[in-house]
Every structure is written in structure tokens, then in C-alpha cells.
């Protein structure tokens, strides 16, 4: 599981602890098996806890809570993820500027004829 997926899962669980795995799978656009694998990994790391709903009709319904360690790790993930996205943004800006220059040069060449 990469940092981006880990961050997204933890963010969603923090905002909506009663979400089920199928809903999480739909939001993340990954398989239900992958969601199950990721949740188990986060539980094993001690970053989230799963508890049965007290008033649930289904014994399989869980609420997922970030642990204090999970909250700390989510903050670190957020910083790492932001740095990656900022770097991607800067690279994209440079690529756009290069493309604009290339188009400008081609347009200038085309008008000389």
C-alpha cells in the first residue's frame, strides 16, 4: 500500500468511521479485497481499531477509529503526500510553460510563410 492510498483511507475513516468496506472500495475505486487487506494492515500497525456497532443489525458491521498513533501517522502522511503533490504541480507547471513556448514557436514559424 503506497502513501497516497494509506492517506486516503485514513482520511476517509477519520471523517466517516462507520463506513463499510464496500463503500470504501467504491470511493477509492479499488477492489473490496484490497480494501480488506489495507484495513488489516492498518490494524496490525496499530493505526486504526475496528469495533462492532453497538446498535447494528449486522454483526459484521464495524466502525473504524484512528488510534492516537494513527492520528500521528496520518499527520506525517499528509506532510509527505503534500510534498509529493507540490513537486508534481511544479513539474506540471514547467511542462505547461514548455508546451506554450513550443506552440508559440510553431505559430511564429507558420506565419512567416
* Bridge partners, residue 51, by sequence: 63
Distance CA 2, CA 6 (A): 6
Task: State the CATH architecture for 3-85.
Answer: Orthogonal Bundle (1.10)
Give me 66's grid cell.
Answer: 484512528
Q: Specify the pTM.
A: 0.73
- Helix residue ranges, H only, 29-67: 32-45
Distance CA 28, CA 40 (A): 16
Give residue-wise pLDDT tens across range 69-93. Answer: 999 999 999 999 999 999 999 999 9
Q: Considering only CA atoms, which of 81, 84, 74, 63 is closest in space to residue 18?
A: 63
Task: Give percent of the chain with pLDDT exceeding 70.
Answer: 88
Give the domain ranges of the chain.
3-85
From the number of C-beta atoms within 10 Å of its C-beta (0-12, 13-18, 19+), residue 41 rates as: middle
Give me 16's grid cell.
Answer: 466517516
Q: What is the mean pLDDT of residues 46-72?
A: 82
Amino acid at each position: 500500500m503506497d502513501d497516497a492510498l494509506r492517506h486516503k483511507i485514513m482520511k476517509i475513516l477519520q471523517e466517516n468511521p462507520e463506513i463499510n468496506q464496500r463503500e470504501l472500495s467504491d470511493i477509492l475505486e479499488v477492489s473490496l479485497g484490497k480494501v480488506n487487506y489495507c484495513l488489516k494492515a492498518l490494524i496490525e500497525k496499530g493505526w486504526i481499531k475496528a469495533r462492532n456497532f453497538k446498535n447494528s443489525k449486522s454483526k459484521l458491521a464495524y466502525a473504524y477509529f484512528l488510534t492516537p498513533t494513527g492520528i500521528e501517522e496520518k499527520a506525517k502522511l499528509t506532510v509527505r503526500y503534500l510534498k509529493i503533490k507540490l513537486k508534481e504541480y511544479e513539474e506540471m507547471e514547467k511542462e505547461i510553460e514548455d508546451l506554450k513556448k513550443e506552440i508559440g514557436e510553431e505559430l511564429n514559424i507558420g506565419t512567416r510563410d
